[in-house]
Structure 1
């Protein structure tokens, strides 16, 4: 009888703890939604007026950015295209390298080497972005200039390479976690049917971990698009139409470079760039999430 009463009390205490935790999680979820809503409303209210004054076509498709000229021009097409090209280049280099590194760590590397590489990846994830920019400016920039006989290494190519290195830790760590979550039975079954180790990895394990891998890519892309300090140090920070060896300015660096002294319509235009960047990230995440859902259903 006493044991039954104690068990009931224990069950009641567990239920109370579960209810409290559910309430905490619910509140945290609501706060997250509210934060996103507030940020969205603020960005729209701050960025929309300038776009209305300048004109949507002139703002998005204009090729001249001269906010302090006698006849101010607020065209951000070069910055939009530079951001797209820089992000695409980083994905082109970083994603295959990150996924293959994760495969090596999970399946091919000896245990000691695997542990060492995992520690290196974690170390890279903790390095501040300004350090990447400093290394890129001192080491990578001169190397690019020397390799391609350029007067300066501050260009779009350097920005792509720095971004590719910066997104590696995110892609590698998430991909490793996803690959390790694939049941061992999948590999055993493939090998038992005559598949080689390489075939098993690329035809069985990677497709099985596709959702996690895409999640890592989404997180890496988010970091690449939102990066500022490292890019401002290696890209040249000049408003040009994108060219692989030309100095360029990204949307993020455009805001940081001029916000300290901007005023009036110039400042409003910078808020509008922030709105464009916000929508840009939202669209990319939406597209990648849709791809992720399709892959999961398949």
Structure 2
């Protein structure tokens, strides 16, 4: 078993390394010709005119992903606390099945629901309804099961002696949840949030259908926008050699953002353990 697990770990690391090397190889022509600065200083995104400003799409990607986590994190953690401490056993079982069902819905179905149901509601606040707010809400619902299920697992894995000891000391249920359960399960809950964030950063279809797909710097959540993922999906099929290489630079930037998030969280957890 030790040999198998080590081999699988090496294979996993090798796959990630190969993906990074592939992105670097495909991005190298654009980086050599344009450098990094032009992706932030060009006037706009017009590849046929030699303009390659990625800043509006980077901002739209970060806004939708971080907004999705703001929606999904409290709902997911609340769901996990509910099924473990407040719901009757039968209701908790049904609730878990519904969350698992939500996790299995294809992204295109979320996009269709957002387009037909949510977008007209958002349109009452202004615009067509296809904007960053609509995309953020749907994206939050898509990553909600990730936070909920991993938080549920982290809370269920806590030693029962902790909870029983706190109850024996006279702590109420809310106090046990706030002072014992959530701090004790913070690593698993944090892992679920990070996994949900990385999934939100990588989501394409639903955001492509709902965000409006206009490359401009958003002034509010009601502004349309285009994420890096949607831009790659829309333009890779007809991109010329130079344009194609710039799209791979977009993918490389997404990979760097995810890497920075993972390294930051790992370093923070290491600092906590050392402290």
Smaller-chain TM-score bracket:
over 0.9
Give the counterpart of 1:220 among 196, 202, 210: 196
Q: 1:225-282: CA deviations, max 9, x gaps?
A: 0000010011011111122111100111110010011012111111111111111111
Q: Which residue of 1 aligns with 2:113?
A: 135
Q: Which residue of 2 aligns with 1:188?
A: 164
Q: CA deviation at 1:295?
A: 4.5
Alpha-carbon RMSD across the aligned residues, in angstroms, is: 1.5
Q: Which consecutive residues of structure 2, in runs of 5 or more, have no partner in the other structure?
A: none
Greater CA radius of gyration, 1 or 2? 1
Equivalent pair of 1:210/1:295 in contact (CA under 8 Å): no
d(CA) in 2 for partners of 1:283, 1:30: 21
Q: Aligned in 2, Cα 1:279/1:32: closer, same or farther, shift over 3 Å? A: same
Structure 1 window deviating more from structure 2 (150-159 vs 288-297): it is 288-297
Equivalent pair of 2:122/2:134 in contact (CA under 8 Å): yes
TM-score (norm 1): 0.88
TM-score (norm 2): 0.95
Are 1:95 and 2:77 counterparts?
A: no
Q: Aligned in 2, Cα 1:171/1:39: closer, same or farther, shift over 3 Å? A: same
Q: Which residue of 2 aligns with 1:58?
A: 38
d(CA) in 2 for partners of 1:181, 1:125: 21
Number of aligned residues:
274
d(CA) in 1 for partners of 2:96, 2:4: 34
Q: Aligned in 2, Cα 1:54/1:165: closer, same or farther, shift over 3 Å? A: same
Q: Which residue of 1 aligns with 2:217?
A: 241
Are 1:117 and 2:95 counterparts?
A: yes
Are 1:26 and 2:3 counterparts?
A: no
Are 1:279 and 2:256 counterparts?
A: yes
